Amino acid sequence: MTNPTDKELKAPVKNFMRIRLGYDMDIILPTKEATQLLAALEKAEKYTPGYGKEPLVTQLTTIDMHVDVISLENYLKFKMNHILGVNDVPSTSE
């Protein structure tokens, strides 16, 4: 009998988080990594391009972001629809 490897013992991802960053970018991460990303934002600062002058780095007071949970089932449906080229995308509401 062989011993299971760490990879075999690792719990499967059960849920994902969708994080909308600004107007046109959504990212999906496993819940654990998404939580780490959100926690790291505590140290974030705002970078404003200079447009002909020096850029500014200032305190980040607000951020335009939306976060929601996506089940493993819906994540797999979304991904499979993309792979198969299916246009009937399931609802994101759970």
Q: What confidence category does residue 3 fall into, taking pLDDT thresholds of 50, 70 and 90? A: low
pLDDT on residue 65: 86
| Confidence (pTM) | 0.68
What is the domain extent for residue 80?
Answer: 6-46+58-84
Over the stretch 46-61, which tens digit does the pLDDT of each residue have?
Answer: 999 988 999 999 998 8
Query: Does the residue 37 lie in any domain?
Result: yes
Give residues with Cβ within 8 angstroms of 56, minimum separation 6.
Answer: 46, 47, 48, 50
Tally of structural domains, the chain = 1
Average per-residue pLDDT for the chain: 84
Query: Does the residue 53 lie in any domain?
Result: no
Query: Does the residue 91 lie in any domain?
Result: no
Query: Does the residue 93 lie in any domain?
Result: no
Q: Which two tokens stand for residue 80?
A: 């499979």
